Amino acid sequence: MSLDHRLAPEHEELRRTVEEFAHDVVAPKIGDFYERHEFPYEIVREMGRMGLFGLPFPEEYGGMGGDYLALGIALEELARVDSSVAITLEAGVSLGAMPVFRFGTEEQKREWLPRLCSGEILGAFGLTEPDAGSDAGGTKTTAVRDDSTGEWVINGSKCFITNSGTDITGLVTVTAVTGRTDAGKPLISSIIVPSGTPGFTVAAPYSKVGWNASDTRELSFSDVRVPFANLLGEEGRGYAQFLRILDEGRIAIAALATGLAQGCVDESVKYAKERHAFGRPIGDNQAIQFKIADMEMRAHMARIGWRDAASRLVLGEPFKKEAALAKLYSSTVAVDNARDATQIHGGYGFMNEYPVARMWRDSKILEIGEGTSEVQRMLVARELGLHS
């Protein structure tokens, strides 16, 4: 058994490549996109050319032949600089392309994955509804069979859907009730809806607290018709499918949150060395040193958590509890580090020209998206054998 937790050479090379891209390409430009609430198409295109959207997928589908650990590494390095770019990658891979890879037919994979892996198009995952957030089993969107035309007829709405309304969005995988069990419980299925399908309407972008350079919208479906062949996986298995997708996605969000937490350390160390008060750098003050040391401790432990969960996933071992723990802890420390980094920066931390102000605004959603902190605690308790 190896006790060496360092990255393998290929993973370290990826980390350095994305780190360089984040600092040289993303950092100088993303603040302007963020302030304008504008999607950074050229940055995303460059990420596609680098192969980031294809990291965990086989080469036969246009991917890079990597694994989920590789995806997490890329997300962490991007989020050290900016979370809008990182969440665009996270949602495009774990929510957009991964359902097609995990549950799609061979025909669906060959139709969609090459373009998703190259970043030519983005995919989205339509799960959350106005009255069905944490209670995703309360889905009200319906898909009814029309046997005369061989089509599903979809009606309903979704909210808070990332990557759903960009100029390069190609599809949204929608969860919908397609029937009822004998006991009257809803049977939820997943169905691919290509962008531009008649009756599929994408609302204007939300006005958000953070992630302002990413795309998040409300979707509506009014008698949207797609072929039976657009069913993703087995009918009635959509609930189980998205549980698996969310388990994996929590690792990705944990990596992103770790990156934000580490970015707060990076910026705070830099500022503490440059900012002088009372004739010396503020980093000479033990109070500042201890605060930054605590921030580094949190980021380090968060990194160990998400990498452990990712390694279990890659090895085919159970990882549900570890993914929930990683997501719960890393999102908490992201918020803590963003708060402390803002405090260290003083008044400048409240100015949007400083990255920590953006990190502060971006951190809170990490305790909400892809399962709230309360849901993560519930999952951990269940995995420990505790049931309500």
DSSP state of 129: B
Retrieve residue 326's tokens.
């990683």
Retrieve residue 4's tokens.
């060496």
Among the options 129, 218, 367, 370, which is catalytic?
A: 370
Residue 354: Cβ within 10 Å count: 19
CA 294 from chain centre, in angstroms, equals 26
Q: What is the DSSP string of 247-273?
A: HHHHHHHHHHHHHHHHHHHHHHHHHHH
Beta strands in the chain (DSSP E): 122-126, 142-146, 151-162, 169-180, 186-194, 200-202, 216-227, 231-232, 276-277, 280-281
370 catalytic? Reply is yes
Retrieve residue 189's tokens.
């299925």
CA dihedral for 234, 239, 240, 241, sign (positive or negative): positive
Retrieve residue 171's tokens.
């599809």
Catalytic positions are 370
